Structure 1
Amino acid sequence: MSSDTLAMAFPSSSITRIAAGALISAVHTAAARIGFTAAVAVTDPGGHLKAFDRADDAPFLTAEVAVDKAWTAASFHTSTHTWNDYLANPSIAPLSGHPRLMAVGGGYPIIDNGRCVGGLGISGGSYEQDQQAAEEALAAVGFEVPTR
């Protein structure tokens, strides 16, 4: 096989620092409107932390949970609230023992032009509030809101 026909790599995209900051700001705005304070994590598509912020009065555990939600969402390009259904499958259930897997709403892949460019994780409200703030923030910044 010649190197002309064999792809040796694929181009990848990652969320920018400015877009990550805009998402964090949009989450805090949405969370304040909804009625809670949050920790917000943004990762690159490999799950590495790109940006983070925790409101002054958000509980300290929200920091770790937000990071793990973002990591989980970026890992399979899937929102974290869908993991409860996945983990009900006995073939997938062993993943529930993974220390970073977060099967709680509030984590979303960050999708730009059909490509995952990172993960967004929010913790501080109920799982419904975290999900709502994430969806509002993604839409406000101009990212796609995943349906799963």
Structure 2
Amino acid sequence: MNLELALRMTEAAIKQAAREGATISVAVVDQGAHLVSFQRMEGAELSGPVLAPGKAYTSVVLRRATADLASLTAPGGELFGLAGDRFICFGGGIPLWADYGEGERVIGGIGVSGGTIAQDVACAEAAASVWLTR
């Protein structure tokens, strides 16, 4: 993950947000879940600078999309009790995978916050598509 690619991914998320009619914050993190790029659209929710990086962090650390975590962290779920602190367990975070010959591993993540869950997921997917076509 490098800055140029991370910036292209945040731009793709913002363009998708404009199409969706959402105002978002978007974060891209590296394989250690360290922030590489962050952008916040004018008028985006005040919680975005916390939630977007949190979703990106969660997707890297748990190696799964945050949209998959809601049911797993609910009472009775496999990961009940995990939500909170640094883990954001609702849609908008997507891990980025790469194959290095010995199998795939997570090399970064995207987090989007500010729209509906569906809008956040769509914007994160738009950013991930830049990774897939790099």
Q: With structure 2 as the length reference, what TM-score do the two structures score?
A: 0.88
Q: Distance in 2 between matches of 1:19 and 1:111?
A: 14
Distance (Å, rounded) in 2 between the aligned partners of 1:142 and 1:100: 25
The residue type paired with residue 93 of structure 1 is F
Q: Rg bigger for which structure?
A: 1
How many pairs does the alignment contain? 128
Aligned to 2:19: 33
Higher RCO (CA 8 Å, separation ≥ 6 residues)? 2
List alignment gaps of at least 5 residues for structure 1: 1-14
Task: State how far apart, in whole Å, the 1-side matches of 2:96 and 2:80 are.
Answer: 25
Matches within 5 A, 1:27-106: 27-88=13-74, 89-96=76-83, 98-106=84-92
2:23 is paired with a residue whose SS is coil
- Which structure features the higher share of strand residues? 2
Give structure 2 stretches of 5+ with no counterpart. Answer: none
Residue 127 (1) aligns with residue 122 (2): no
Superposition CA RMSD, Å = 1.6
For the 8 Å contact 1:45–1:116, the answer to whether it is kept is: yes
For residues 65-87 of structure 1, the C-alpha deviation after alignment (integer angstroms, 9 at most, x for no partner) is 00100000010210001111211
The share of aligned pairs that are identical, in percent, is 33
Contact 2:25–2:39 at 8 Å: present in 1 too? yes
AA aligned to 1:143 is L
TM-score using structure 1 length = 0.80
Spell out structure 1 runs of 4+ moving beyond 4 A.
Answer: none
1:117 maps to which of 86, 89, 107: 107
